[in-house]
Structure 1
Amino acid sequence: MTGIFSSVLLLLVAGSFGRPLYPLPSKYSRGSKQPLQTFRPYNIAHRGSNGEIPEETSLAYMREVCDSKEKPAAADRDVAVTSRRAIEEGTDFIETDILSSKDGVLICFHDVILDDTTDIAEHKQFANRKRTYEVQGSSVTGFFTVDFTLEELKSLRVKQRYPFRDQQYNGKFPIITFEEFIDITLDAPRIVGIYPEIKNPVFINQHSYWEITSDSYFDYIKDYVVGIGPWKDTVVPVVNNYLQAPTDLVARAHAHNLQVHPYTFRNENQFLHLEFHEDPYAEYDFWINQIGVDGLFTDFTGSLHNFQEWTSSKGDDKSASKLLHEIAKLVSSYKKS
């Protein structure tokens, strides 16, 4: 996620809302799937389990997506053995960023340019496709996703964004479409929600942070969304890498019946504030038990899942229907209006 704030417009889950639904394609029986848990804060896989795997690839979410009907090569089959990352590690929701290809296909990709997280520089046939556009008030030069068709984008391979993370999966997986992303959750052995983020939304970009975190704005959005996703430093400000006094953002959001899911939680010490003494579990404890957030966007779903397994008691899984009914109610009221 980028920017300082995003709205949770809709949390889509492959489960029952307590009303008739058209059957969705899945190799698993929906009736046998374990429901979405709601007895503890949500574990939200930020671009998949991208602390280990290149972001927003099929492997980072759960499984390999092949480019054709042919069977994957031996090397790819070896990779597929370890492919159930974020979902296998216990995430409740998988988050993705949505952009469009030149031919109008929705893809899962964070940056408007391909330069930082793909091997575009190695494709000499695209050397003349570099452009300069204005993006959110700044001049940006690079290879833009909107200048490539889906077929061209599928010829690229994704790589790890950060050089200090594991590089062994670089060049092994393609960009996936939003449809493939949805298929991954439908084929999961349990109910997993999806958390899509539309990149560079014009409406949100027209509003300042202070406007969209005001009580009047919360009153406006509470009938359309179930929560907000703020940058964590806007919830608890930071000065010289030390935490300051928390703001009242969480309390005010809760007063408007809105959940709060801050971003982004990362295990590496360079992302941890000094109070946490190089311990990501101390950071999880602070945000869950002191600040009282309802979910966390993390690059390391396994770490958050382990922390919650060790520190929280199991609740009643039937309480999951409460959230699903709330989402269905929002959707139904929106359709009627």
Structure 2
Amino acid sequence: MNSKLVIAHRGASGYLPEHTMEAKAMAYAMKPDFIEQDLVLSKDDVPIVIHDIYLDDVTNVASVYSNRKRKDGRYYVVDFTFDELQCLKVTERFNPKSGKQFYPKRFPKGKSNFKLHSFQQEIELIQGLNYSTGNSIGIYPEIKNPEFHYENQKDIARIVVDILFEYGYKTKEDKCILQCFDARELERIRIDLQSNLFLVQLIENDEEVEKLYSYAKYADGIGPWYKQILDVKENEKWKFTSLVNDAHEFGLKVHPYTFRADQLSEFSSFEEMMQLLFYEANIDGAFTDFPDKMVAFLKMS
């Protein structure tokens, strides 16, 4: 964990619909250090690789199961069995109300034929490719919304940790980093579930930034939003917050999210973004929708 890490965010999601097997295979070929898996449980307790607890912004669930939405109008992964989920088609992310594609210049919405898959299927794909190619690319799963799962009588953390153990991911030396936004749940994974994996505490607001000391008691790194590292721009030059330095003082690695070459509001180029955050702010790794661009940049740097 001493080099700068490239983490393929939802696979090669800048090129293919996020969290599809095709996006993961394409990401693998780009040779990142890790490939990310967001995990949500199905009705029959199968961890599904999907970013949200909802289905209606990346699949055709509204047309296939029009009578299965909840009172809030949303369709939830947890209300469908794994076999039922296999009947859906996955597409590029879109707004369920307007139907408008979220990233208009990415893979065209509704084209080709993509499916949902289980965590186990993706592990077997990545481990199989490691075996056949001789590479050693890791997995970087995220446990999504554990509180919601508890409300639906499900313990997603225990299920995921058991699967990881079964597939040989047991210690910090194994090529697996486990992440979660819920601090209580990540601490439970370390203490109650007795996991020895490399754990990363995801953070999304400034209040959480102040808790590095408590995170360091159970976590090995943090995953902040990259904007939490940027402070102000003076004379066309960025200044940075103390977050990265503070985290390093507590022995925590820093892997911010998400680097997107097609969403550069603060930067003149993707290369400028990477140069500033990797080398001036001194981050340890980053999540990107464009792993090929980040791999190439770090090779040249």
Q: How does 1:1-337 map to 2 (within 5 A)?
A: 40-62=3-25, 85-123=26-64, 126-132=65-71, 140-161=72-93, 162-167=103-108, 170-188=111-129, 189=133, 190-202=135-147, 203-204=182-183, 209-214=205-210, 217-237=211-231, 245-268=239-262, 271-274=263-266, 276-277=267-268, 279-311=269-301
Question: Measured at CA, do residues 238 and 104 of structure 1 come closer, stay the same or move farther in structure 2, by a change above 3 Å?
Answer: farther
Question: Measured at CA, do residues 237 and 112 of structure 1 come closer, stay the same or move farther in structure 2, by a change above 3 Å?
Answer: farther
Q: How far is the alpha carbon of 1:237 from its aligned partner?
A: 4.3
Q: How far is the alpha carbon of 1:213 from its aligned partner?
A: 2.2
Question: Measured at CA, do residues 169 and 41 of structure 1 come closer, stay the same or move farther in structure 2, by a change above 3 Å?
Answer: farther
Larger Rg belongs to: 1
Question: Measured at CA, do residues 266 and 238 of structure 1 come closer, stay the same or move farther in structure 2, by a change above 3 Å?
Answer: farther
The one-letter code of the counterpart of 2:265 is H
CA contact (8 A) 2:7 2:286 kept: yes
Q: How far is the alpha carbon of 1:223 from its aligned partner?
A: 4.2
SS in 1 for 2:139: strand
SS in 1 for 2:29: coil
CA offsets, 1:215-271, max 9 Å, x none? xx33333243221100111111479xx986311010000001110000000111xx2
Structure 1 distance, partners of 2:228, 2:275, is 18
SS in 1 for 2:66: helix
Structure 2 distance, partners of 1:208, 1:299, is 19
Structure ranking higher on relative contact order (CA contacts 8 Å, 6+ apart): 1
**What's the TM-score once normalised by structure 2's chain length?**
0.72
Number of residues paired by the alignment? 235
**What's the TM-score once normalised by structure 1's chain length?**
0.64
| Bigger mean CA offset, 203-212 vs 253-262 | 203-212
CA contact (8 A) 1:54 1:158 kept: yes
Q: How far is the alpha carbon of 1:169 from its aligned partner?
A: 7.7
The one-letter code of the counterpart of 1:299 is D
SS in 2 for 1:283: helix
Q: How far is the alpha carbon of 1:119 from its aligned partner?
A: 1.7
Tell me the percent identity: 37
SS in 2 for 1:127: coil
Q: Unaligned stretches of 5+ in structure 1?
A: 1-37, 63-84, 133-139, 312-337
The one-letter code of the counterpart of 2:274 is Y
Q: Unaligned stretches of 5+ in structure 2?
A: 94-102, 148-181, 186-202
Match of 2:152 in 1: none
Structure 2 distance, partners of 1:121, 1:264, is 29
Q: How far is the alpha carbon of 1:301 from its aligned partner?
A: 0.4
Structure 2 distance, partners of 1:53, 1:228, is 27
CA contact (8 A) 1:119 1:171 kept: no
Q: How far is the alpha carbon of 1:121 from its aligned partner?
A: 2.9
CA RMSD of aligned residues (A): 2.4
